[in-house]
Amino acid sequence: MVRMVENIQKPPTSGLTGFREDNSELLTETAPAISEAMRESLAVLNGQGFCVCGQYPWDHWQKMAKLRGVPEDLATLGRSLMREAHQHSWGDRLRSLCGWNDEGRRMIALALRSPKTAKQRWSWLMETDGQRVDPATYEWIGEESWKWPSLRRRWNKGRSR
């Protein structure tokens, strides 16, 4: 565990930040390197509760998503979603949907297969804080409330337009 902490805590020397100064494109970083960095940052986060800025699992996920071809705006939204799921202690089911059980591979697959659906689903989760807050009134409802089916129907109706 100490080795992993040391690897994460050192400033990146291998271009692990993955972006040029102008953020316009990824450097020559490979997907396996990003996956390894993400696994290490997950271990550090689980062990000590924090990582170095730019080395959190959601930062690595965003790099991987962009490397795989996910559009910038969707990669940014996905990064925010992973971060919120962790920082707001969403339940295991939602954390799984937000990439915590598979390093975000299903999120990337959804974003590539159906960007519109990914944006709608992820936006819904962000607006409702993991389906716990009514986005119209900001009333705390809770993830398992009986009110969600009607709110979700209203949201689905808005999606079909």
Kindly report, residue by residue over 4-40, the tens digit of the pLDDT.
333 333 333 333 333 333 333 444 467 677 777 777 7
Range(s) of the domain holding residue 64? 2-127
125, 98 in Cβ contact below 8 A?
A: yes
Residue 112 lies in a domain: yes
Q: Is 140 helix (H, G, I), strand (E, B) or coil?
A: strand
Residue 74 lies in a domain: yes
84, 76 in Cβ contact below 8 A?
A: no
Kindly report, residue by residue over 74-100, the tens digit of the pLDDT.
999 999 999 999 888 888 888 888 888
pTM of the model: 0.68
Our count of domains for the chain comes to 1
Chain centroid offset of residue 18 CA:
17
Residue 148 lies in a domain: no
Kindly report, residue by residue over 128-148, the tens digit of the pLDDT.
888 888 877 888 887 677 777
Give the model's pLDDT for residue 47: 63
Question: What one-character DSSP code corresponds to residue 25?
Answer: S
The encoded tokens of residue 73 equal 């705006």
113, 99 in Cβ contact below 8 A?
A: no
Residue 146 lies in a domain: no
Residue 156 lies in a domain: no
Residue 32 lies in a domain: yes
Q: Which amino acid is at 16?
A: L
Residue 152 lies in a domain: no
Kindly report, residue by residue over 102-117, the tens digit of the pLDDT.
889 999 999 999 999 9
Residue 138 lies in a domain: no
